[in-house]
């Protein structure tokens, strides 16, 4: 399961109720901040998340409304917060711009109080934990070198206690070995194979996070079968030409992507203050019913569809 907390859901400029783009993805003890618009540090405090273990930041692209908050966040870390290191990852052009912002404006020749790692990454595996991975993939948005991110829980075969009891497998390391897929030699000398006590393979939860995008055809396969898709919805279909001009999506096009990719849930963000929220949601739901327009501080638990 992944938990998503939206910290900013506005497009380009803040509104009275929406801050600039930022969200946090949680999985067990891991927390990832994705994008960091101006004012994000205040949103972190107001949400109750706090700064603890918030030391990995993924950037979708280098436009200012997605990165300016990094300056304030680093400044706060330098003065008030205890954090061992800070890692910021994104496409090369975004990292170049972030380096100018942090070292040219915030630090200005001084050294940060903790190691700051700026990682220019390319599409492919970015992170591998014990039970989940993060993969980056290319996104096309108005000439900006952009990335989306797939959070994939590793699949598993559930342990079947009834079968273990029937085979007389006592609690302890023997069951742990079987859960880990290793044969177990019981105290009585019998060898039990994992297949004897494990159920059918269950795929893990899949969450896809996309920032700004000007098209969807190249995104379908990356979003395929996601339990939740987070993506922008800057325009309504009545202004589709303007959306195309500025490299953004309409609510209808984002919903169409959800249908084509067979996702379980669609969460729309990057909402323009020119529209009413209910109009954005209505346009998307006409195409894909399980659509929600996210608001600042909304929290969603993303589980495997059907669970």
Residue 180 marked ligand-binding: no
Assigned superfamily of 2-156+202-302: Ribonuclease Z/Hydroxyacylglutathione hydrolase-like (3.60.15.10)
Residue 77, pLDDT score:
86
Residue-level pLDDT at 180:
86
Residue 81 pLDDT grade (very low, low, confident, very high; cuts 50, 70, 90) = low
Helices 69-79 & 40-47 angle (0-180, nearest 10): 60
Q: Hey, what are 49's tokens?
A: 């998340």
248 has binding-site annotation:
no
At CA 270, angle to CA 214 and CA 78, rounded to 5?
115
Share of the chain above pLDDT 70, in %: 99
66 appears as a binding residue in the annotation: yes
Confidence at residue 304, expressed as pLDDT on a 0 to 100 scale: 87
pTM here? 0.89
Q: Where in the chain is CATH 3.60.15.10?
A: 2-156+202-302
27 is in an annotated binding site: no
Q: Which residues are catalytic?
A: 65
Closest C-alpha among 12, 55, 48 to residue 31? 55
Residue 152 is labelled as binding a ligand: no
61 annotated binding-site participant: yes
Per-residue pLDDT tens over the stretch 106-151? 999 888 888 999 999 999 999 999 999 999 999 999 888 999 999 9
Residue range 165-182, pLDDT digits in tens: 999 999 999 999 998 889
For residue 65, say whether it is annotated as part of any ligand binding site: yes
């Amino acid at each position: 399961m992944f938990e998503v907390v939206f910290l900013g859901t506005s497009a380009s400029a803040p509104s009275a109720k929406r801050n600039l783009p930022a969200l946090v993805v949680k999985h067990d003890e891991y927390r990832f901040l994705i994008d960091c618009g101006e004012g994000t540090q205040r949103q972190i405090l107001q949400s109750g998340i706090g700064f603890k273990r918030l030391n990995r930041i993924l950037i979708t692209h280098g436009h200012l409304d997605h990165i300016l908050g990094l300056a304030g966040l680093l400044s706060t870390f330098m003065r008030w917060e205890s954090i061992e290191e800070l890692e910021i990852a994104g496409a090369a052009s975004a990292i170049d711009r972030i380096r100018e912002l942090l070292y040219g404006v915030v630090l200005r020749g001084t050294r940060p109080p903790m190691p700051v790692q700026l990682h220019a990454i390319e599409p492919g595996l970015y992170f591998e934990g014990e039970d989940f991975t993060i993969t980056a993939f290319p996104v096309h948005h108005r000439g900006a070198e952009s990335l989306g991110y797939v959070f994939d829980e590793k699949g598993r075969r559930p342990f079947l206690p009834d079968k273990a009891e029937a085979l007389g497998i006592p609690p302890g390391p023997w069951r742990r070995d079987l859960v880990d897929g290793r044969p177990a030699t019981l105290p009585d000398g019998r060898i039990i194979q994992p297949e004897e006590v494990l159920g059918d393979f269950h795929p893990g939860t899949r969450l896809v996070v996309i920032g700004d995008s000007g098209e969807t055809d190249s995104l379908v396969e990356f979003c395929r079968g996601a339990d939740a898709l987070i993506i922008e919805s800057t325009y309504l279909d009545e202004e589709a030409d303007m959306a195309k001009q500025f490299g953004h999506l309409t609510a209808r096009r984002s919903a169409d992507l959800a249908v084509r990719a067979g996702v379980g849930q669609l969460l729309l963000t990057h909402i323009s203050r020119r529209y009413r929220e209910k109009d954005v949601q209505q346009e998307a739901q006409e195409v894909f019913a399980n659509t929600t327009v996210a608001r600042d501080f909304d929290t969603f638990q993303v589980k495997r569809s059907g669970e």
